Every structure is written in C-alpha cells, then in structure tokens.
Amino acid sequence: MTPTTETMVGIGGAAESTDMVLNIGPQHPSTHGVLRLRLVLDGERIQHAEPVIGYMHRGAEKLFEARDYRQIIMLANRHDWLSAFSNELGVVLAVERMLGMEVPERAVWMRTLLAELNRVLNHLMFLGSYPLELGGITPIFHAFREREELQHVMEEISGGRMHYMFNRVGGLKEDLPAGWTSRARASVAALRSRMDIYDHLVLGNEIFRGRTRGVGVLAPETVHAYGVSGPIARASGVDFDLRRDEPYLAYGDLQDTLKVVARQEGDCLARFECLLEQTHNALDLADACLDRLAELPPGPVNQRLPKVLKAPEGHTYAWTENPLGINGYYLVSKGEKTPYRLKLRSASYNNIQALTELLPGTLVADMVAILGSLFFVVGDIDK
C-alpha cells in the first residue's frame, strides 16, 4: 500500500485568534533599564502581562549585614539613584530610633530642606522623560536644565551629584557652606519661574492628553491590594502621605505649606498631574525650610558618636515618604556594630507589580504610556 501524506492548512479567522508571546526587554529602550515584560497578545490587545525582575539584583540587604552603621548609608542611597538623599534618610532615622537619639533642630530642618530638593530632582527627571516616551523631545531638555540648577547647590554641600552621602547617624556630615542658603533660594526661584513649561507645553498639548487621558486606569482597590504608594496611589484617589498623616523630620511644623496632591481619575494623565503639582509644592516647602533656617541660631548639626557605633538589641521600623512612594526600613539588631537584618521596602517594587492588573485589555500602543506613568527606577525594584 502506498503511504500518503496529509497536510492541513488553516485559513481565515482561526489564525487571528492565535496568542503571541512578546518579550519587552530586558534591554528594550522602552523599559527604563533592565526590566523585562512578558506579554501575551491577542492581535494588538494584551491578554496577560508579567513583569520579570531581578536582572539588576545586587543583594544590598545581605550586604547590609556585613557593613557597620556608618557604611550601610553608602549602600542604601544607591537603589533609587534619583532619590539618594531620601534613601539615606530612612536608614539613619531607623538607627537613631534604635539608639533613642535626638537630632539637633538645625539638622532636622536641613534634612527636610534637602529631602524636598531631592524630591524636585527626582520628579523633574520623570516630568521630562515621560513626554519623551510619547514622542515629545523638547521637555527633556528643559528638565535637565532645571535639574542642573539644583544639582549645583546639592553638589556644593556634598561633593556628589547623585550619591550625596550627606546624612549621618545623629545628623548631617557638616553645616552648610557660607552663603549656600542664598544660592539655594535663588535656584528655587529660578526653577519655579520656569515650571510653567510643563503646565503649558506638556499638559496643554492635545496629543499628550489624547495619549494619556483614560489610559491605564488604576482602581483604588488595586492600589490597596498591591501596596502601591506615592503619587501613583494618590492619582487613584488614595489620599495618603506620610508627611501629613505621620509627620517626621520638620513636616509637623509645615502643615500649612504642605499640600497633598490627589486625583480621582487614576489614569496616566492624573499620575503626571500629581507629579507636576507635587513638584510645585516641594519648591514651596523648600522655601519654607530656608525661611526657618534663617531664623535659627548657629548650632551643631550632628551628635558626637563613639568610635564603634553599636545599636542596642531589638528591632524597629522606620518609613518615609520618598519621591516615588513609601520606603520602609525594618532594622533588627543583636547589639553588634552591624545590623543583624535590615529589610528594605522600596516603593518601585510594589508599584511595578500593578502592571499585571493595568496592562491586560489594553493595546500594545498604550503599553509604553502606561509603563512610563508608573515612575519607577529599576534599581529600586532589584534592590
């Protein structure tokens, strides 16, 4: 009997319903660095999305256990490289709480000022880069110009442009240079005078609004389920800000100036608006801190520490309202000069998980708009 071969050819609508797996990253230019998205597509619509993380993992939490309380500050300020001062701050607050240490008043106000300037630096990067991802190249040039204004004053006090290493357990490294507050005030004023670029050039652009309005709506229930925080959560109506709701540093005295920006829409446009308005308010808070520092008499900015610093046995938890959301620091001590355990809760890690809920059902063309509106740093995920 002669063997026969059968060939089945499928045509028509059957081919259109075939799922396709698409990898975005981990080196894709739309992924903010080494992040991988595994998308399952049905045509142009996303059926399933899975963020795949860990490509930049450096084991910072394990390294904390092999460094003393002075050295861990260097490790902690690097995971979110746009928020180095704020990252340092959470660590020293946790250690100071363990020690029962009170920081000089001048250092408290200086820390608050520098934290808000760092918040502006962080937000400016996203205010410029997000329109770039949607096809608008002009805002990024303005953003880098404004960042340079503040980078000059931050570099003057610390010597660093990104990793400041200016916090110390018990206060700050040293007092501000002579005339620094005047230069900082001038930089804040110059920056504020040019912020209307983002109000008009970006928010007033019909194409930008068309690409972001009603796109990537994040429900409040999803915010709570995934632990999303910061401007992303507030854009979905979750009105929570540690600076107001559990004040630390000098924020308790700045409640008249502090404005917690929130929206109800929860879309990409609302997230950008929250970030922009929060930048305006951070500049106001910086001015208020400069005013207060001008009134304070000269005094110490740190506490004298022993040569070998040991935290008492026990555990504590400190959290701060970082530019991208809530950062938490769970410190466990066995009474040694190194932490027994320092668990870091970073904002970007939780925020990026919401992509599994945000992306399904949306078009591939909207993926970049949604991804960019979550304002994350990959190092903050892979800590």
CA pair distance 129, 136, nearest whole angstrom: 9
H runs (alpha helix) in 27-169: 60-64, 72-76, 84-99, 105-133, 138-158
In terms of Cα–Cα distance, which of 131, 356, 130, 326 is closest to 242? 326
Buried b (16+ CB within 10 A) or exposed e, 51-77: bebeebeeebbeebeebebeebbebbb
Query: How many other β-carbons are positioned within 10 Å of the β-carbon of residue 346?
Result: 26
User: Are 140 and 132 spatial neighbours (Cβ–Cβ below 8 Å)?
Assistant: yes
Residue 1, pLDDT > 70, answer: no
In the chain, the amino acid numbered 321 is: E
Which pLDDT score is estimated for 378?
Answer: 86
Closest CA to 345 of 322, 370, 315, 311: 322
How open is the CA angle 245-251-255, to the nearest 5 degrees?
75
Is residue 14 pLDDT above 80, yes or no? no
Higher pLDDT, 2 or 42: 42
Q: pTM of the full predicted structure?
A: 0.91
Q: Using alpha carbons, list the distances in angstroms from residue 186 to 142, 145, 148, 217, 340.
A: 18, 15, 13, 39, 44
- pLDDT tens, residue by residue, 23-52: 887 765 545 568 888 999 988 899 999 998
Neighbours of 129 (CB within 10 A): 16
Per DSSP bridges, beta strands 45-52 and 36-42 are antiparallel
Tens of pLDDT, residue by residue over 90-141, are: 999 999 999 999 999 999 999 999 999 999 999 999 999 999 989 889 999 9
Tokens at residue 69, please? 């309380």
pLDDT at position 154, please? 93
Rounded Cα distance between 174 and 167, Å, is: 9
Q: Which of 31-35, 82-86, 280-284, 356-360 has the lowest mean pLDDT?
A: 31-35
- Does position 163 have pLDDT exceeding 70, yes or no? yes
pLDDT at 58: 79
